[in-house]
């Protein structure tokens, strides 16, 4: 039981990171009906921005961890959001209204470009970070096993819950949220009613990039190592989470992220670790066979 509880904690922590990335996929799909396959690389860039900021703060002599974390989070979100905005302006904006295959190819090309861009700038080797937050809480102690909850895991879970709540309120109760929901239903009608569709879409990319930056920061301080390729696999799993939960649903994206994290961790703990990704994708296939819209998704209604 103690071992199961420890893996549950680990799975929820990993699922929270996947969920934050998955929200970016579901936002972009909801508003323009396109899968942003470069979103995983935005997550990777957020991790590198956090690493660079940590190193600069270390050189400046800032050692108080709470202030350093706050600065790193803000800097990573701002700088990564600039990348998200620029990507939308260059790679997706000019193709809006074209055949749906064109922005898809552009997204794949942008993903490859960003991987090689970071590899060229930062190198191909793994970039480590010394532990920023140490220690934790011992929940259950037995003779053979101790269930612990590290302070890093507490930070990741609490921050994810807070961001999810704030973002849900942003979508539900602010003018930006109303504009986003209007564009999701009908962009032409939204434009006729005075909504700046281009600005709304750009801000959606910025919002998704900011959440991916937070996920990148949490990934960095949780695992302590990053490289230019982490965005590919994390992006695929987060996309799987978005589809599993029901792409287009914020709650579904977070639920899917938690499920993918739990499946991955429990499979690694109780079965062979080499097949943990196979297990996660197999669950996705089964869900889509019996519920094609995902767990919380709703059927798409064709507009006529």
The pLDDT of residue 140? 84
The pLDDT of residue 223? 94
Per-residue pLDDT tens over the stretch 90-133: 988 888 777 778 888 898 999 999 999 999 999 889 999 998 88
Q: Any idea where the domains of the chain sit in the sequence?
A: 2-290
Domain spanning 2-290: CATH 3.40.50: no
Least Cα distance to 260 among 242, 241, 276, 246 occurs for 241
Bridge partners, residue 225, by sequence: 128
Low-confidence stretches of the chain (pLDDT beneath 50):
304
The pLDDT of residue 248? 80
Whole-number percent of the chain with pLDDT over 70: 97
The pLDDT of residue 228? 93
The pLDDT of residue 299? 64
The pLDDT of residue 302? 54
Per-residue pLDDT tens over the stretch 41-85: 999 999 999 999 999 999 999 889 999 999 999 999 999 999 999
Cβ atoms 181, 37 nearer than 8 A: no
The pLDDT of residue 168? 87
Cβ atoms 126, 225 nearer than 8 A: yes
Helix (H, G, I), strand (E, B) or coil at 129: coil
Note the helical H segments in the chain.
2-32, 39-60, 65-87, 101-122, 151-173, 175-185, 187-192, 197-223, 230-245, 250-270, 276-290
The pLDDT of residue 206? 93
Exposed (0-12), middle (13-18) or buried (19+): which is 259, by Cβ within 10 Å? buried
The pLDDT of residue 297? 73
The pLDDT of residue 303? 52
The pLDDT of residue 60? 92
> Helices 2-32 and 250-270 sit at what angle, rounded to 10 degrees?
140
């Amino acid at each position: 039981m103690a071992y199961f509880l420890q893996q549950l904690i680990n799975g929820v922590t990993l699922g929270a990171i996947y969920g934050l990335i998955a929200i970016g996929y579901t936002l972009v799909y909801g508003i323009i009906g396109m899968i942003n396959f470069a979103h995983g690389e935005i997550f990777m860039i957020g991790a590198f921005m956090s690493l660079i900021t940590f190193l600069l703060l270390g050189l400046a002599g800032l050692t108080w961890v709470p202030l350093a974390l706050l600065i790193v989070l803000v800097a990573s979100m701002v700088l990564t959001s600039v990348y998200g905005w620029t990507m939308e302006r260059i790679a997706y904006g000019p193709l809006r209204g074209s055949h749906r295959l064109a922005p898809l190819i552009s997204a794949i090309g942008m993903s490859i470009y960003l991987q090689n861009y970071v590899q060229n700038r930062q190198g191909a080797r793994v970039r480590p970070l010394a532990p920023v937050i140490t220690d934790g809480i011992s929940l259950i102690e037995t003779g053979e096993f101790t269930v612990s909850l590290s302070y890093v895991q507490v930070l990741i879970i609490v921050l994810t819950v807070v961001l999810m709540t704030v973002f849900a309120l942003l979508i539900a109760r602010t003018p930006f949220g109303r504009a986003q929901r209007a564009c999701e239903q009908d962009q032409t009608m939204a434009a006729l009613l005075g909504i700046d569709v281009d600005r709304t879409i750009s801000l959606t990319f910025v919002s998704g990039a900011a959440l991916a930056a937070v996920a990148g920061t949490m990934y960095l301080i949780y695992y302590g190592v990053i490289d230019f390729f982490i965005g590919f696999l994390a992006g695929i799993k987060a996309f799987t989470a978005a589809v599993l939960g029901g792409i287009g649903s914020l709650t579904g994206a977070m639920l899917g992220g938690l499920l993918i994290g739990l499946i991955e961790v429990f499979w690694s703990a109780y079965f062979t670790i080499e097949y943990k990704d196979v297990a996660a994708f197999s669950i996705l296939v089964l869900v889509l066979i019996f519920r094609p819209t995902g767990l919380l998704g709703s059927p798409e209604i064709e507009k006529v």
